Amino acid sequence: MLFLFALALFPFGTLAVRIVHSNDDGWAEINIRTLIDTVTAAGYDVILSAPAENKSGSGSLDADPTSLTSACEFDSCPPGSPPTNYNASNPRLNYVNSYPVTSMRYGISTLAPKFFGSETPDLALSGPNVGSNLGFAVWFSGTVGAAVYAVKTAGIPAIAFSGSSGTQTGWTAPTPLYSSIYADLALNLTSTILASGTPYLPAGIFLNVNFPEVSSGSCGDVGEYKFVLSRIFTAILAPDDVSTCGSTRLPTESDVVGTSGCYVSVSVGDASMKTDANATMQAVILGKLKSLLSCLS
């Protein structure tokens, strides 16, 4: 498990990094539960604040939560439940009956003071989404919307994770291989960012990370994966990207994920418009992730 990598990076006494975690697939979906378990096991201080139901494709919509008229997804709460609530056995697992952005807002404004005291979360995570968020999908993704809210409104660095494999799956099902691999990869990248020191990301910047397809016969081992710095959109008239791998133009995240060989795309996004950040910001991330990044073959 790659969480051992995180433990090697941080002495136990300095692991009190505070993380707020959301998604758009819902609080009871197995990807988010697997990642929060993995990140918590690595020693980070995490709270989950995610929609009561699947809210995929809701972008940056935000509305005050309302009481449940039907059960939460996968019967994770009964009809008539309040607008917000938590798991009876673990109050750090919270649902919000509204959009992903609303869930992130609730996590930052209500749950963080409860669990972190006067301290603001150090980092926001979103996902892993069930399905990729590549190119124009970034504008409509609730997973990305939640991450961008943390950056724009609260000034909290944020990473959005998405994966090609899987379907909507409840948290009580056996953990799929793809969920475990995505969680380990997400922890690896998160730990590397945190180990790089503050500020973890430049102001106004989020990372959009996409994992490729997983199967037992292809990319079935976490050690097979390589992270590649990418861009969200195809560049036609855009200025040069950061110079790396012998080029001043980064591959698109779609090209990275679509290339055989278990490649993970890491795009540097400008939260103000959900577009690609400039070469200066890309260079900062290149420096922070240099021990992790590879070139696309």
The per-residue DSSP string of 36-91 comes to: HHHHHHTT-EEEEEEESS--TT-TT--------SSPPGGGSS-TT--SEEEETTEE
Write the CATH number for 178: 3.40.1210.10
pLDDT at residue 15, rounded to an integer: 55
Model confidence band, residue 54 (pLDDT cutoffs 50, 70, 90): very high
pLDDT at residue 294, rounded to an integer: 98
How does pLDDT run across 19-36, given as a tens digit for each residue? 999 999 999 999 999 999
CA distance linking residue 288 with residue 291, whole number of Å:
8
Instruction: Of 113, 100, 126, 133, give the one whose Cα is nearest residue 232.
Output: 133
Q: Domain containing 83: what range?
A: 3-288
Say how many domains are in the chain.
1
DSSP 290: T
CA distance linking residue 50 with residue 102, whole number of Å:
9
253 lies in a domain?
A: yes
297 lies in a domain?
A: no
104 lies in a domain?
A: yes
Prediction pTM value: 0.94
Strands (DSSP E) contained in 88-144 are 90-96, 123-130
296 lies in a domain?
A: no
Interval 55-64 mean pLDDT? 97
How does pLDDT run across 191-229, given as a tens digit for each residue? 999 999 999 999 999 999 999 999 888 899 999 999 999
170 lies in a domain?
A: yes
111 or 217: which carries more pLDDT confidence?
111
**Residues facing residue 210 across a β-bridge:** 162, 265
57 lies in a domain?
A: yes
How does pLDDT run across 131-183, given as a tens digit for each residue? 999 999 999 999 999 999 999 999 999 999 999 999 999 999 999 999 999 99
278 lies in a domain?
A: yes
pLDDT at residue 3, rounded to an integer: 40
pLDDT at residue 10, rounded to an integer: 42
293 lies in a domain?
A: no
